[in-house]
Amino acid sequence: MQDKERNTKLAKARKKLFGSLSRAVRSKKVFWAMEQVPREQFVPPDARDMAYLDIPLAIGDGQTISQPYMVAMMTESLQLQPRNRVLEVGTGSGYQSAILAELLPQGQLVTVELVPVLRERAQCILNGLGYTNIVIESAGETIGCPARAPYDAIIVTAAAPGLPESLLAQLAPGGRMVIPVGNLEQQELVQVLRTGEGISVRMLGPCRFVPLLGPEGFPSPR
């Protein structure tokens, strides 16, 4: 397929996707942020023709780039403010990271990734797109990045068997966390609000994510 023809098809697919998202995404700020980020830059070259389909796509190493609608829903649930400090657990492709960074012009995103090749690839893409408010860290023995806590918001892009205590400890008072919780086959997207009395939990709906591995997650496959 010629580059001109490919770009035309990509533009049509992008227009169709955002037409659909405009009816589903309630936050104008989140919709604007998603419009700023070229999803095709975050998928493998052989999947770029599918970049603007509303589906998850494989990015290698058993990981995926999330469905755009799911990215929008999770981002909306964080209710971000421009000066917030945000933690993302699971950088993956870097697509979600870029959208969060767009919403934090005076803030900072700290994102952690377990898989070195994904971390390095995302760093390269995000640097190339000019983001200066993103810090990418290696995943350590403790989930998240306690050294940079507390966070106004935490987003987890992999499924955990329960609410990780380590992440709750990194959440600032009044802070919000969104995380998929369940088993390997069936999960619920959960929004957590930290209050003066503890935490309140709200279920946002069923979802399906790759597993969170390591401490407070699932065992690594042998």
Report the catalytic residues. 66
Distance, CA of 106 to CA of 29 (rounded, Å) = 15
Is the Cα torsion angle 141, 176, 125, 1 positive or negative in sign? positive
Burial 113-139 (b: 16+ CB within 10 A, else e): bbbeebbebbbebbeebebeebebbeb
Q: What is the DSSP string of 181-206?
A: EE-SS-EEEEEEEEETTEEEEEEEEE
Taking the C-alpha atoms of residue 156 and residue 144, their distance in angstroms, rounded to an integer, is 9
Measured in whole angstroms, the distance separating CA 146 from the mean position of its chain's CA atoms is 19
First-last CA distance in the chain: 40
Task: Show the tokens assigned to 1.
Answer: 């397929």
Q: Side chain identity at 154, as an amino acid letter?
A: I
Collapsed DSSP state (helix, strand, coil) of residue 42: helix
